[in-house]
Amino acid sequence: MPALDDAIAALERLGGRLDACRSAGDPAVESVSDALAAAAAFGLPDDVAALEQLHDDLAEAAQALAATGEQTRRALDRLLALRGDAAGGHASSHASRGRRQRQRRRAPGAKSRPAPAPQGDSAAFRNNQRGWRAWGTPGDHVATFGPKIAGFGVGAASVVGLTRGIIAGLGTLAGVFALDLAATVYEKRKAARRRAQEGD
Amino acid sequence: MTGHKHGAHEPGVTAVSAVDDAIEAVGTLLERLTEARDATANAVDQADAAHDAAAAYGNQEGIAGCAQVKDELEAVGSQIAAVHDSVEKARDMLQELRA
């Protein structure tokens, strides 16, 4: 209920104002005490009487302020309980209230706002980190290109090995042909020599 | 704090300067009390609005709770107004003493 939220916010503001009053009340009472002591030291009986009365009035006012602070806190706890917050947990109620307000402001399904760009020295460091992330870290490059380079190396070695195998095979084949040719030539020469001897 | 800055037992301190400090401190308190009085009036209005909203929803717990809070805040407002008047008179008295 927005009206209840507004009332709670108003009471929180009032609590802050009362705290400020208490903070201002102590110096006021102390300064009147000092003025009273000074008037007594200078022998000013009329002033002393007036300042004593003033001191008592201010002390009474300070007590009344403390009482109003307590009363305001109880009223705030009552409103927080009505809203469903844990009574007495001011810090948590502030946090949950802020969370609810953010949820209310945010349209359904809307993405949360991106974090603002950091500023300063640490910002430079974090922006640098972001730059690394955008471009890729050295580790990323090793992970990406390492297997590719290894694959290329294996592929190149395979090509070299295959080429060497082919060359070796061709060499063997050539050797076989050469031997066969030599044998054929030998056989033909041998046959020719036999025919020549038979002819003689 | 102003009172401690000019201790009454230190040499050279006059009753007039002590009263000046008191006037300044009481004046500050009066300003804070004025803000608190305004904040109380605003809180009473907001509690009243919350009470009306609870009534519109038929929320009995809210109606009773907000009514009680409103009464308490009105009491707080009366106390603060009384303290404000008292401190205002104190300041006037100090100013008369100073004069």
Is a pLDDT exceeding 50 seen at residue A129? no
| pLDDT tier, B5 (very low <50, low <70, confident <90, very high otherwise) | very low
**In angstroms, what separates the C-alpha of A102 from chain B's closest C-alpha?**
21
- The pLDDT value given to residue B44: 94
Task: Report B:48-67 residues touching A (Cβ under 8 A).
Answer: 49-50, 52-54, 57, 61-62, 65-66
Tokens of A115: 């974090």
Other CB atoms closer than 10 Å to residue B25's CB: what's the count?
A: 27
Across A147-163, average pLDDT: 85
How distant is the Cα of A126 from the closest Cα of chain B, in angstroms? 44
Average pLDDT over residues B27-42: 94
Contact A27 B83 (CB under 8 A): no
- Supply the pLDDT for residue A89: 43
Show residues of chain B in contact with A71, CB under 8 Å: 72, 75-76, 79
Chain A positions touching B18 (Cβ under 8 A) are: 31, 34-35, 37-39
Question: In the predicted model, what is the mean pLDDT of chain B?
Answer: 84
pLDDT band at A195 (very low <50, low <70, confident <90, very high): confident
Q: Give residue-wise pLDDT tens across range A67-119.
A: 899 999 999 999 999 888 744 444 444 445 555 555 555 544 444 444 444 45
Contact B3 A34 (CB under 8 A): yes
Q: What is the domain partition of chain B in residue ranges? A: 13-98
Burial annotation B30-64 (CB, 10 A radius, 16+ → b, else e) = bebbbbbbebbbbbbebbbbbbebbeeeebeebbe
Whether B42 contacts chain A with CB within 8 A: yes
Mean pLDDT, chain A, rounded, equals: 77
Q: Are residues B40 and A60 in contact, defined by beta-carbon separation less than 8 angstroms?
A: no
ipTM above 0.85, yes or no: no
pLDDT bracket for residue B96 (50, 70, 90): confident
pLDDT at position B7 over 50: no
Does B83 contact A at CB distance below 8 Å? Answer: yes
Whether residue A42 and residue B14 make contact (CB cut-off 8 A), yes or no, is yes
pLDDT tens for B47-84 read 999 999 999 989 999 999 999 999 999 999 999 999 99
For testing contact with chain A, the best of B83, B84, B91, B92 (most A CBs within 10 A): B83
Instruction: Indicate the domain borders of chain A.
Output: 2-107, 141-200
Q: Say if pTM beats, i.e. exceeds, 0.80.
A: no
The answer to whether B53 and A4 are in contact (CB under 8 A) is yes
Q: Do A7 and B49 lie within an 8 Å CB cutoff?
A: yes
Calculate the alpha carbon distances from B81 to A162, B22, B85, B89 in Å.
103, 21, 6, 12
How much is the pLDDT for A88? 44
Query: Tell me, what's the pLDDT at A63?
Result: 87
